[in-house]
Amino acid sequence: EVQLVESGGGLVQPGRSLKLSCLASGFTFSNYGMNWIRQAPGKGLEWVASISSSSSYIYYADTVKGRFTISRDNAKNTLYLQMTSLRSEDTALYYCARSVYTTDYYYSDYWGQGVMVTVSS
Amino acid sequence: DIQMTQSPSLLSASVGDRVTLSCKASQNIYKYLNWYQQKLGEAPKLLIYYTNSLQTGIPSRFSGSGSGTDYTLTISSLQPEDVATYFCQQYNSWPLTFGSGTKLEIK
């Protein structure tokens, strides 16, 4: 059974840093790209960052570029999101999601339950 | 960035109704579109990928169609368990972008 379990969230002051983790199980982690997608309270979905299976390709939303870093450790089956210079608008539930991509497909077929990040003084 | 506009934002329908949700892209996305369902308090679930491919395990009452800038998610016979918010998402180009969602209720 595919499982994605996020951790590392919490309450943090503006300008501080936080690192999220997503532990994957039930599939060969090194064969799949991964995404971070967030959802502010009561709002819609916002894509944050994506990383390919071997970390060769990395993409960021403009809203986090230069502040967030996505990475992965395939030996540990873990995806990370290092977040720095946090702002109140980064407050959200952060989901990690497995991505499937081919010439025509790019979709997130499994999602974790999310981890809450609250940025407030 | 490609903007995704969903309509309506709120839809109320009766059990058994045929329901159509719309998603419009700000430019041609060449069918590179996915649909996700999010029930209250849950993570999103993939329903449809590449405009009209049904994800494994999703009931056949769900279907997708469209091309160019205009896309549709159809539920052929609405069931109580379909109450959720539905999001479209394009992957024609980075950044990936989602629509703001259609909240579907039972009348």
pLDDT tens for A57-111 read 999 999 999 999 999 999 999 999 999 999 999 999 999 999 999 888 999 999 9
pLDDT of B83 above 90: yes
Nearest to A45 among B44, B49, B50 (CB): B44
SS3 B82: helix
Chain mean pLDDT for chain B: 98
* Closest-approach residue (CA) in chain B for A64: B95
Least Cα distance to A44 among B50, B12, B6, B106 occurs for B6
Is the separation of the CB atoms in A81 and A90 below 8 Å? no
Relative to beta strand A115-119, strand A10-12 is: parallel
pLDDT of A119 above 90: yes
pLDDT at residue A104, rounded to an integer: 85
Q: Which residues from chain A sit within 8 angstroms of residue B99, using beta carbons?
A: 44
The DSSP annotation for B31-77 comes to T-EEEEEE-TTS--EEEEETTTEEPTT--TTEEEEEETTEEEEEESS
Q: How many residues does chain B have?
A: 107
pLDDT of B105 above 90: yes
Contact B46 A61 (CB under 8 A): no
Asked if the C-beta of A62 comes within 8 angstroms of chain B's C-beta atoms, the answer is yes
Give A31's DSSP letter.
Answer: G
- Token pair recorded at residue A16: 């501080």
SS3 A22: strand
pLDDT of B57 above 90: yes
Which amino acid type is present at position B75? Answer: I
Contact B95 A107 (CB under 8 A): no
